[in-house]
Every structure is written in C-alpha cells, then in structure tokens.
Structure 1
C-alpha cells in the first residue's frame, strides 16, 4: 500500500500533466460548485468519523475536485484526494443530490484508500503512464484518431485496471458514500436514481457501456442495495439549489467545442427556456445569456440574465431563499457590467459575491478583474 505522502506526491504528479491540457476545465464557477459540495460532504464524513475522515485523515488529502470538458458520463478518483468529473455527468444529472451521490461514492474510495491499496511502491512509471492514458482519453474526445497510440497496448489495459475497482470496493464506497450523502442533507434517492439511469443507458450506448460503468462495475444488486438504504431513511423534502441549473448550462458551454456546437447549443438552450419546468427554464435563459456574452451581444445577454434571475427569485423556484443564491448569476452580472464599462458596479457586485461566498475562486477573480479595469 502507498503511504499517504507517496499517494499525494503521485496525485500531484498526475495533476501537473492534466491541468495544462485543453480539456481541463478552467471554469471557476464549476470549480467552486464542485469543491463547495465536496467540503459539505467532508464535513458530514468528519462528524460521522467515517473511513478515516477525521480532521487528520481528510486533512492529509486536501481534496480537490475538478471538471474535464467531456460529454461522456464519468467521474474518477486519483491518488491523493483528487476527483475528476466529466462535464457530461453534470449535464446528465437531474439534481445536485445526484451529483453529490457520485461525489460521495468517489470520496468513499479515497477515504478507504482503495486506489492506494492496489498500488505498490514501484508505481512512478505507472503514474506517468496513467496521466498519459487520461490525457489520451481527453485527446480522443477531440480527435478520435489522434490519441489511438496512447490508448493501445498492454500498458493502457494495466493503467485502466488501476482506476477500476473490485465489486467489494464498489460496495464499500456505496455504503460510505450513502452515509455521507444522508448526513450532509442531500436527497438520499439521488444515488439509486442516477445509477438506475446509468444502467438503462448501458443498453443504448454505441459501445454498450458508459465510461463510468467500465471502471465502476454496476450490478442490479448494487442498485437494489441503494434503494433499500434510501427506503430506510426518513422522508425528507430536499430541493435542488438553483445554482445547479446554472452549472449545467456552464457545463454544456464547456463541452460545446466548435462554432457548429455553439449553434446546436443555442437551439438546446432555447428549447429549455420554453419548458414548463422552472429549473430547465433557468438553465435555458442562463445558457442563452452565456452564448450572447461570448458572441459580444452584451445587451441581449443582460436581458437573458435578468430572465434567469427572475425565475430564480420567483415563487415557482425550488426551495428556500438561501438555496436560491447563485454564484454563477452574480459572476456573470459582474462580467457583463465590466463589458458595459460599468466598472464600479462590476466591483460592487464582485465584492458582495465574495462576501456571500468567501471561499469562491470565481468571486476573487471577478474582483481582481474589476480592480484591474479601474486601474
């Protein structure tokens, strides 16, 4: 088994190669959303003293969750507490509790040190190869022919096996993840709901198996266990935070790629904005605001953003006012104010956002951008 120190070292080694990759997402509101969720889950894990999740145990990892621009449904844990989410998983999820259920599961793998247990001390070459395989997979999503060399051969199989888990490890991560999910106040039906949809997708994918299922063996028994656990929990009416719908729009933008992709995406957002479901409407209008912003149609972007905000503040929006707060809306408001030359207003919005979300990288960056414009 790798020591915690070696595990962190190898994780950092992989991340140094992943961060410069064009498919590593630098979208700060997505990064903030994922890491705020992870902090909430870890807080619950510490209270329960689960899987070594005491102050020292989780502190040894300094968990970091990042997004990858890829439309496939996947998430993975790397050595040292790094967890990757494909944007496709965020887009396919129907609630923040579903995202949290996957994150809780991956956190369970890290806290139980499943990956570290599979590796021995002679893993430097394996780690370098693992980074190569992950980067190759990202390159393949951009250009299926370009990365075929990286993805072939026994080494690729061996490294993919390193990221795969035994069924016992999966069941253990399910159990730990579920306990964390329940203790952190998310909807416990998020896990069985999401995995049931994954299982259905298995039958209709081109290659037969979604990426997540290839490294996380999904069985009917596992889903049944999740459903049993959910049934044994007290009924709670848990609403999805409005920020989740805006993050879905940002995730769609991140994975859209070409200008033709942007055209299709605009149609998707227009369709969503006409739905009766307020969550889908919010995603649609916010997505249209992001596209207009990207294309320099600032006044139009402001109009779409106002419609998204009105929906978020309306009585039909889910949940209490506290979960109607949205970092993404405020960040985009600050960016649009800057684009209109309203630098003081942009700074005020960014400062208020940082006060509301003190751990937000996006709010800090928005404030710095406003200060730079003000000179």
Structure 2
C-alpha cells in the first residue's frame, strides 16, 4: 500500500480553451447507454437536425443508469468538443436498479464524493465488474469470453452497513458562512455537509503524528505504525481482504525471496515475512520516506529501501526475486517498472490495482513478456462510488503449476 496514494477524490478539471458556442446549461432528453470508466454513463444528444455524427455529441452522464430515459443538463461542453459532460436532472423512465439516494447531499449539482448512491448496492457492484471487464478487454487484450472475466464478481467486504459508514478517514473543507462541507464534482464550489453518510462515526481527519492500525489475517495479527496524514486504506475491511487475496495468489513458501513495490508501511511485507521465514527474504520499496521508515520499523526482518520505484529497481541490478507484489498509485506501474519486474523472472506477480484502466494497460505490457493474467478478484472497498480494487495474479506459462 503505497504511502503516496490517497483515497479517491473527484478530479478537478484542467483549464480549458473554449471551442465555440457553449452548451452548458442546455437540456436534452436522452436514452442512457452503457456504464463508462469513471462513474459515468454514455449517451448521445442530437444538437441539430440530421443523422451525422457531426450533428450529435457523446455525453458522459452522471446520476443515470443504462436503459433509462432521462433529461440531461450539460455541465461541460462547447460546440467544438468531441464529448460533453452532463447530469441526469430528471428521470423520464427509471431502471429497476434505481433507488432513492440515502444521502441528501448526493445528486446533480450537489456533493461530488459519491457516484452511485442512486443505484442499488448489488447493481453498483455489477457496474464495477462491467467496467473492469471492459477495460481488460479494450486495453488489456483479453477476450470477452475469458472465464476470468465471465465469472468476475465484485466482492463485498466486512466493515460497512449497506454500503455506508465505512470511511475511517475523511477530509472536509470549510463551508461558506462557517461549518464544514464537500466540493461539487469537478469544481471548487463547496456544499455544506452536516453528516457524510459514507464516513464512519469515528472517522479521523488527516493530522500530524502517527497512529497504530491492527490487522488480523488467518488468525495472525500485526500492528502497523502509520502516519496519521499518510496513506492507509479507508475501508476497515480492506487490509484483511487484500492481504488474504495476495497471499492466496502468491502462495509464498519458506525460503522464497519477495519484492514488495510501492510497499507503504509494510502491510503485505509483514505477512510475506511470516510465510518466507528466517531463510527467506523480503525487500520493500516505497517512494515516501516517512512510510518507508515506518515499514522498516513495522517489519524489522525486511530490507526497506526508500526511493522512486523505477530508480531503485535499476539500482538493484539483476537481483532475482521469486515473488513480487505491485501496489502502484492510480496511474499504474507503467512500462519501466513492469519491464524491470519481468527482468527478474519472478515465479508470480500479485498486482493490487485501484484503477481498472491502469491495471489493463500494465497487464498488456506483462503479456508482451510472456506473463499472463491467471486469477482476478475484485473488492468493493469504496461503496457508493465508482472506485473498485482488484488483485490480479500474473505468471509465465511454465510457472502455472508452481
């Protein structure tokens, strides 16, 4: 778990140069198409008479569902843009999966933190699975008929109540006139929020100093000192679920050597060290120096190296490893890191991904070097949002049975 990663937040837009007439504020009735990566749904609006593509625009619509007829209000878009963004401000014909959002601050023009409060929880998870499948087919080169994708489900983890009250860390901003609030989607504008329903009742705001987190997996408990303003998974069920999935994928044995990249404070390393034993070896690499120092303290039997992952791998030369854990930030590991990993011919690689598109791009790079996706699990660590976490196992064909 990288010390440089942060809990997901809505991205703010980059400044754009207007490309003609603005369509912001205009409304169109549309039929909603499939879900897209990022919490949107695809629709097409007709902007003038005719049937050509030039007379219509793709709109990425929030607060909708596939198959619905909605009135969409354009929130970003000019005549020269390839696509627009919009909000479903009213529903003409609702999907069966639509529910009343439990939070009064969730909806068009309101808090931008949650994408799917209008969707029944089982349907939220199927939407996330659909996006993960689509990205692995489109960017990862997998077949849509691959059993790994056909059988994929997004698993619930313990620690939330019907998708609510799970977020153990929560950052607010000052609201106009006092109090606290949250920002609108892709905006600096603040919405006053009296109670965020995805926040745990005892959620902490980031602060200086350190805290202690306890994790139990398979009857083995470890404690981790964590920077109070550093990265730690915000869902209480996340550490156990992810560690269990990684151990299941890698099946570490006594004497193995393991490389934990983007290791954060050593969550995976602690359990790997247990499995490889005193004759094995665990090396952690983490770009955040505070997190790396904490990893050295949390897992004293491991070798902790602070520095940019790509640079450290180059400095390690051709040092081989049996097992590798990759838990990169949202942009993924990318080519330099993937190629440095495969150069060490690990028996197994466990990739912990918080972004389906980044995972798919890196899976394609692994495939160039003979490493194929062998197992895939997905977890609903961020209910009510579009975010999903996945654990993928990659191996070379010759190592399938190892």
Larger Rg: 2
Tell me, yes or no, whether TM beats 0.5.
Answer: no
Decide which structure has greater helix share.
1
Greater strand proportion: 2
> What is the TM-score with the length of structure 2 in the denominator?
0.29
